[in-house]
Amino acid sequence: MTKSNTADINPNVIFTYIPNLIGFTRVATALLSFFLMKDHPRYTTIIYGISCLLDAFDGMAARKYNQSTRFGAVLDMVTDRCSTTSLICFLSVIYPTYYILWQLLVSLDLSSHYMHMYAALSTGSTSHKNIDQSQNVLLRLYYTKKSVLFTVCMFNELFYMALYLSYYDFMLVPGLAITFPQLLAYVSLPVWFFKQVTNVIQLAGAAYTLAEIDIKEKSQSKKE
């Protein structure tokens, strides 16, 4: 495609791609859930859940219609991070005793994904989900197996939602001395913990990748 033909393409077309429209819907449903979060836990669960479930469909649409874009990849990651962070912020309101934990979780989530994406783009990758064989085995499993990625992300959000719902009055599970949200929290805890481990690995790996780039650039400048 020539430079003149490229200039004739309106960038607004990218915003009308099906996966990006799904992404915008995710943003809208997430925002709506924030407004409902304080007083309407059941509605919040449904609407926030829709936002999370749509995360599985934007990637499918991008592959099916050949509409993968850098904007879509960034929109996907930013929506994920903002949604999770906002939910954790509300957890810090209803469970203020654990404010240090909430701060650490938000910091780990944001820093690991930002550094990972920046490192990926710095090495020429078009998406933070493109992992080569040199990466940690857990990180390769997380990003290259779509079923694993979806399951881990789902249970990660389920854990936080379970903690959120546990604050409200729900009936006890028959035969157990805990409510259904508390049961969900226990069930999703191991996968949530795995997600935090991958975040740490991701952060360390991205830091090492960026340091390698720095060394190469400094070596190149010395030769010149």
Active site (catalytic) residues: 80
What's the CA gap between 189 and 62, in Å, rounded? 31
Reported as type and span, the H/E element at residue 57 is helix 55-64
The amino acid present at 130, given as its one-letter code, is N
Place of tokens 């219609």: 65
What's the CA gap between 160 and 163, in Å, rounded? 5
The phi and psi torsions of 135 (rounded to 5 degrees) equal -75, 165
Q: Which residues pair with 179 in a beta bridge?
A: 172
What's the CA gap between 6 and 224, in Å, rounded? 35
Q: What is the largest CA-CA distance in the chain?
A: 74
